Structure 1
């Protein structure tokens, strides 16, 4: 009788551990997952973006003018049992992309690893940053076409329950020179 009770107890404990390992993952009840209460509090930086937005993406033409808008959806969800955030864009032009967003308490910064269907890469580009006031600001070192040292700066702004704006721009090291190359305007479609 004791071996059967031991086996039942072991099965019960292992099923509870399995549930504890994925209880914050996306599910039918929570399609975008949940923030894990054990995650760094900074995980809340992305909370207003969780869900799906309808967006318009604008990029620069070679002549410097803005191209026509490309329609896209942008989905944010919690992953890794609510310890990180993943996003994915689906664009009507077929150029899709995504990121894995993890907060490091050791460096007090977000690390964002970007990937794209248009340019598969053996190593992912990484931006680093965090909240600056009401905006999420991220940087990645990048030289200008003429070789000048600078950074590619990403800014999430006007973040609310209704949506957000996104701007990608090359900036000089002291940010006295700024050249926007990509902008996205998003309206929240779905949050659960």
Structure 2
């Protein structure tokens, strides 16, 4: 019994010493940037919070589909050292990402998941800031077998919202084909 009490006290003391001042809570529902995180973690600072968005994707016949309403929420996780986002779409499809900047490679690594299909292994998008935009890549062949990437670009980023564009690009980025676009406006409660 004495050993159990000592372990309980030791565990309680160790847990009490872990600083968690940057986690999401009632006072800061989206968490807070940890000042000891890599400075690039602030790349997503203007996106932190909740946005009302309009998402438009291409249909199988390559025409643009009907716009769909969605919310997109970004928050700091891992005690302010990374970013997580979640989309809730009116058609019931939802997705999210865990975004972590790795200083050793000077890149963002973004792990995407969705409720549309099982995700036993999370794919990793890579990239970073390019001017005022955030650009991420995931290797993907075109339907005809041409090597290339699916490129995601966050642009027009401000405290009021942002735009997002998904497009296939060839390896030299001389050819691009947009397949998905999202326009987001921050909600008033942020």
Q: Do they superpose with TM above 0.5?
A: yes
Distance 1:111 1:91 in 2: 24
Distance 2:55 2:43 in 1: 22
TM-score, normalised to structure 2's length?
Answer: 0.91
Question: Helix, strand or coil for the counterpart of 2:88?
Answer: strand
Question: Helix, strand or coil for the counterpart of 1:47?
Answer: helix
Question: Helix, strand or coil for the counterpart of 1:171?
Answer: strand
Return the offset for 1:126.
1.0
- Equivalent in the alignment of 2:104: 106
Distance 1:185 1:35 in 2: 25
Distance 1:10 1:67 in 2: 58
Aligned residues: 184
1:70 aligned onto 2:68? yes
Return the offset for 1:74.
0.0
Mapping of residues 20-39 of structure 1, within 5 Å:
20=19, 22-39=20-37
CA contact (8 A) 1:50 1:191 kept: no
CA contact (8 A) 1:51 1:190 kept: no
List gaps (5 residues or longer) in structure 2. 1-8
Match among 135, 148, 151 for residue 150 of structure 1: 148
TM-score, normalised to structure 1's length?
Answer: 0.91
Mapping of residues 1-192 of structure 1, within 5 Å:
14=14, 16-18=16-18, 20=19, 22-190=20-188, 192=190
Distance 2:116 2:11 in 1: 46
Return the offset for 1:12.
8.8
Question: Helix, strand or coil for the counterpart of 2:124?
Answer: strand
List gaps (5 residues or longer) in structure 1. 1-8
Return the offset for 1:14.
3.9
